[in-house]
Amino acid sequence: MIILVASVTSSVWLPHSPTLIEPDQRLQGLSLQHWFGTDNFGRDVFARTIAAAKVSFFIGASVALIATVMGTLVGLLSGYFKKIDFLVMRLIDGMMAFPALLLALALVAAIGGNITNIIIALTFAFFPQMARVIRSAVLKVKQIQFVEAAKTTGTGSGTILFFYILPNVVSPIIVQGTFTFAKAILAEAALSFLGLGISPTIPTWGNMLQEAQNYITIAPWLCIFPGLAIVTTVLSLNILGDGLRDAFDPHSRMKRSGAQRLSNKTKRETINSIGGRTV
C-alpha cells in the first residue's frame, strides 16, 4: 500500500523529475538532495523508482484483471460442459507446456514491446493457469446437491453457471488473481531487463536494472533500490495471496487452529513436566 500510494501521488510530492537529465550530477551517491543517488545520466534514482512503480502496478493490475476474466470464463465453460472440456484443456495444456516467461518473450518479440503488447503477451502467458484452477473448482461445485436440484427444476445452464456455480468459486478466483498480479510485475521487469519491454525512455524497474549492470561495481545503488522495490512488491502480493487463501479456505483455518491447540498443549505438558522434576 505504501508503494502504491507513493506512486499514484508521485507527481505531487516528488522533489525531482524522473526524466530530468543533469550531466554534472551523474553517478552521485546517496545524499540529502538525492536520497537514492543518481544514475549515469544524472537522473534521480528515487524519483525513477517511484515513477516505475506506477508502470509496474498498471501492467500488473491490467494483466491480472484480463487474465482473471478470460481464465474464469474458460474454466467455467470447460468445467461444466464435458463436450468442450477435452478440446479446451488440450489447448491449455499446450500453452502451459511452455514456461510463462518464455511464452511472453516469444509473443513480445513477435508483436513488439510497448505497454499494450506487453499486457497482451503476459495475459496469454498467465490466463491458462487461472483457467485450470477455476475448472478444478467448478468440477467440485457442480457435484453438490444444490446444482443437481437446479438442473432437475429445468434451470438453464447459463443461470446455473453464473448464479449457482460462479459465486462458489469466487475465493480461488481472488487468490489466483493476486498471485497473477505478482507474477505479471515480475515478468514485466524480466522483459524490460532483457531489452524486450517498454521503451527505455519510460522508467521501469527492469529498465533501471538493465542500465545499472554496467555500473554495478562503481555505483551499486543503481541496482539495489530497483531490486528491493521488485522484491518488496512481489513478496507483499504473495503474502496477501496467502492470507486471502487462508481466509477463504475453512480447511486451512481448521488446520491452523488445530496446530495452534496442539502447540499450546505441548507447551503446557512441557511446563508441567519441568515443574514436576523441580518439585
Q: Shortest CA distance to 46 belongs to which of 164, 221, 175, 196?
A: 221
| Residue 38 phi, psi (nearest 5) | -125, 160
Higher pLDDT, 205 or 249: 205
How many residues does this entry show for the chain? 279
What the block records as the C-alpha cell of 123 is 495475459
For residue range 103-154, what is the model confidence (pLDDT) as tens digits?
Answer: 888 888 888 778 888 999 999 999 999 999 999 999 888 888 888 888 888 8
- Residue 255's pLDDT band, with cuts at 50, 70 and 90, is low
Q: Which helix (H) or strand (E) holds 108?
A: helix 100-111
For 153-179, the pLDDT digits (tens) are: 888 888 888 888 888 888 888 888 998
In this predicted structure, what is the pLDDT of residue 18?
A: 83
Find out whether 75 and 133 touch, Cβ atoms under 8 Å: yes
**Highest mean pLDDT out of 3-12, 55-64, 79-88, 251-260:** 55-64
Q: What is the pLDDT of residue 278?
A: 43
**Taking residues 85-92, what's their average pLDDT?**
89
pLDDT-derived band of residue 260, with 50, 70 and 90 as boundaries?
low
pLDDT at 279: 37
Q: What is the mean pLDDT of the chain?
A: 84
pLDDT of residue 132: 92
> What is the tens place of the pLDDT at every residue in 12-52?
888 888 888 888 888 888 888 888 888 888 888 898 899 88
Residue 12 confidence (pLDDT): 83
CATH 3.40.109.10 assigned to domain 2-247? The reply is no
Query: Which of 24-28, 229-233, 268-272 is predicted with the least confidence, judged by mean pLDDT?
Result: 268-272
Residue type, 7: S
Q: What is the pLDDT of residue 275?
A: 56
Q: Compute the distance between CA of residue 165 and CA of residue 251 in angstroms, rounded to an integer.
A: 20
Kindly state the percentage of the chain with pLDDT values over 90.
20
- pTM recorded for the entire structure: 0.82
Residue 194 confidence (pLDDT) above 80: yes
pLDDT tops 70 at residue 277: no
The residue that leads in pLDDT, 21 or 71, is 71
What's the pLDDT at 59? 92
Contacts 24+ apart (CB under 8 A), 111-120: 113/191, 113/196, 113/197, 113/198, 113/199, 114/198, 114/199, 115/55, 115/58, 115/59, 115/198, 118/59, 118/188, 118/191, 118/197, 118/198, 119/59, 119/62, 119/63, 119/66
